[in-house]
Amino acid sequence: MRFIQTLEAKNQSFSALLSIFLMMIIGLIDYCISPEISVSILYLFPIGISVWFVNKHTGFLICVASDITSLVVNQIQDKYHFHPLIHFWNALVMLVFFLFVNHLLAQLKATLNNLEKLARTDNLTGLTNRGFFLDIVNNEIEKSLRHKEPLTLAYVDVDNFKQINDQFGHNFGDRLLELIAKTTQKTLRKIDVIARIGGDEFAILLPRTGYEAAEVVLNRVQKSLLSSMKQEDLSVTFSIGAITFVRPPHSVSEIIEIADNLMYSAKKKGKNLLQHELLENAGVGTEEWLVESCD
């Protein structure tokens, strides 16, 4: 398991070179031992590393290279003067086997990647889902506390979304949510993360972002969303609640609750508003601060 984690942390070039090195070592072992002992199955190790940690095309090349290596060794060790075609036939059978394993591993990896993606993304919008988003927030909290960097979290809610669904139907509502997701993704920076929390609610995480910078990003998001709605001839607005922490609390649920309450505060004040607050030291008195800021 540690070996796999190490290779996952390395770049693809390292895994490719490791595959070539292992293939050469196995070829040397094959040459040094008695020809009656077959080590062909050992070539599956470099093949597996190449297809799993690089790609199936590299795996294909390692398959061919391993097969050629085995063929050359067998011809050099031919003490019994077998017919040359026997070696080529054996090499062909071995190549088919190698390529079959390469295909199976590539398919398995693709399936696992798809399952992992489904577990992390929202089916409708393709955004990060709630569960994975909470994991990301938890990791960013640790980074923020360790490096003493600010952190901003925002909640975005579509105003009167239930009425939109009732008036135009759920299919229209789904297309609207997809449009909101695409518009917001285009507006945010690469380091930012957006997730669909549920229904018509979205959450935006702005790592290493202080109050002023977050204010710029969130205002840009709101303007972009309103502009996209206007282009579709829709009178749809958005209420956004955001909290910037100079030092965030350790609890993910506490951060989520604060941002959620600020979003509802924006809705109570007339909707189509950005309610953005700064909390310098989360912890003692947070609940009292939250009550006062939302009143």
Q: Which two tokens stand for residue 198?
A: 């549920």
Q: What is the pLDDT of residue 282?
A: 62
Count the neighbouring beta carbons within 10 Å of the beta carbon of residue 190.
Answer: 4
Q: What is the pLDDT of residue 291?
A: 45
pLDDT 10s digits, 28-79 = 998 888 777 888 899 999 999 999 999 999 999 999 999 999 988 888 876 5
- For 102-108, what is the mean pLDDT? 95
Which is more confident, 225 or 288?
A: 225
Q: Which two tokens stand for residue 183?
A: 């518009």
pLDDT bracket for residue 156 (50, 70, 90): very high
Which is more confident, 171 or 87?
A: 171
Is the pLDDT at 103 greater than 60? The verdict is yes
C-alpha distances (whole Å) from 64 to each of 38, 44, 101 are 18, 12, 13
Say how far apart CA 206 and CA 195 lie, in whole Å: 12
Is the pLDDT at 4 greater than 60? The verdict is yes
Contacts of 7 (CB under 8 A, 6+ apart): 14, 15, 18, 49, 53
Q: What is the pLDDT of residue 62?
A: 94
pLDDT bracket for residue 284 (50, 70, 90): very low
Cα–Cα nearest to 196, from 261, 116, 133: 133
Cα–Cα nearest to 278, from 243, 239, 241: 243
Poorest-pLDDT segment among 72-81, 128-137, 143-152: 72-81
- For 257-283, what is the mean pLDDT? 89
Say how far apart CA 162 and CA 123 lie, in whole Å: 20
Domains of the chain: 2-119 (no CATH), 130-294 (3.30.70.270)
pTM: 0.72
Is the pLDDT at 160 greater than 90? The verdict is no
Q: What is the pLDDT of residue 7?
A: 79
Is the pLDDT at 190 greater than 70? The verdict is yes
Cα–Cα nearest to 193, from 133, 123, 263, 118: 133
Q: What is the pLDDT of residue 286?
A: 54
Residue 169, phi then psi, degrees to nearest 5: 100, 160
pLDDT 10s digits, 201-259 = 999 999 999 999 999 999 999 999 999 999 988 889 999 999 999 999 988 999 999 99
- For 6-35, what is the mean pLDDT? 88
Say how far apart CA 46 and CA 51 lie, in whole Å: 9
C-alpha distances (whole Å) from 226 to each of 91, 222, 231, 237, 289 are 65, 6, 9, 6, 31
Is the pLDDT at 289 greater than 80? The verdict is no
Q: What is the pLDDT of residue 157?
A: 95
Instruction: 161-166: list long-range contacts, CB under 8 Å, 24+ apart.
Output: 161/199, 161/200, 164/236
The percentage of residues in the chain with a pLDDT greater than 70, rounded to a whole number, is 92
- For 256-272, what is the mean pLDDT? 92
Amino acid at 256: I
Place of tokens 């309610």: 275
Spatial strand order of the sheet with 201-207 comes to 193-198, 201-207, 151-158, 238-245, 274-279
Q: What is the pLDDT of residue 1?
A: 65
Q: What is the pLDDT of residue 292?
A: 47
Say how far apart CA 48 and CA 60 lie, in whole Å: 10
Say how far apart CA 170 and CA 164 lie, in whole Å: 8
